[in-house]
Amino acid sequence: MRIILLGPPGAGKGTQAVRLVERLGIPQLSTGDMLRAAVAAGTPIGLKAKAIMDTGQLVSDDVVVGIVADRIEEEDARKGFILDGFPRTTYQAEQLEAITSPGHIDLAIYLEIPTEVVLGRLAGRRVCTECGTNYSPQSPPKAGTRCDVCGGEVVQRKDDTEGAIRRRLTLYEQETAPLIAWYQGHDKLVTVDAVGHPDEVNARLIRAIDDRRQAIPVPPPARPTRTTNA
Ligand code: AP5
């Protein structure tokens, strides 16, 4: 399946994508993670993206579409993927249609959540600088500021400051929220309540995905090709 997770910063897209990877056996394609990896590696894209990301603005459409187009071509994404943080503009959604053609997106899941919940989550989020594992005040790293998974340093993200969070939320409303209606218009949208324990939210997502799977018509078996004997 090809799934999009839509929702404001802090809705839990990354948290849920990781759980869905385990469940569905398809990769998470997070543009935020890919861009942060480019920044850490000091690539030309990373050098350009760093200041934009730190201040909570959007990286240019063409750069992000290019990254996704390349990633979708990789072997592990052939049987499906979970897009986390992409598309974020109508232009990106249109380009996604073009780069996945003649395939298609099966489902866009909108993680619905009140702004005050998001603000609390982002203020409390800490991430591992090495492997990207997320922590919250409810589930902090067991070893203080060291990651449980890899031992890396656990810090606050540069774009989780008050000013950057405000800018990200404003941009979300202006640029990304219109995609909810866009995917509704394409009959791809399912809304899921993103408030509650991550396991409860995940159970809602799995139900939404299973419902959509059952609604997808099974293609008829391919007819055997005729061989002609000389
Ligand atoms: P990106 O990394 O995609 O950031 P974002 O969309 O702002 O999303 P977040 O990662 O902040 O939140 P999330 O929804 O994944 O929540 P999470 O699971 O972490 O993008 C970063 C930047 O890259 C952008 O600002 C932009 O500059 C650039 N960029 C990326 N994609 C782009 C694109 N397509 N176009 C242009 N620019 C792009 O959860 C948040 C916290 O809450 C965590 O601490 C978590 O532990 C906790 N939590 C999660 N779920 C729950 C729950 N159910 N209950 C309690 N706590 C929870």
Q: Is 135 helix (H, G, I), strand (E, B) or coil?
A: strand
Answering whether pTM is above 0.85, one says yes
Ligand 1 midpoint to CA 109 (Å): 15
Q: Which of 2, 36, 126, 168 is catalytic?
A: 168
The reply to whether 125 belongs to the active site is yes
Cβ of residue 36 lying under 6 Å from some atom of ligand 1? no
Torsion of CA 108, 171, 185, 194, to 10 degrees: 40
3-state helix, strand, coil in the chain (%, to 5): 50, 15, 35
The reply to whether 36 belongs to the active site is no
Q: Average pLDDT for consecutive 10-residue bins of the chain (230 residues)?
A: 97 96 95 95 94 95 96 94 98 96 90 96 93 90 93 94 93 98 96 97 97 76 55
Residue 23: name the closest of 219, 204, 214 by CA. 204
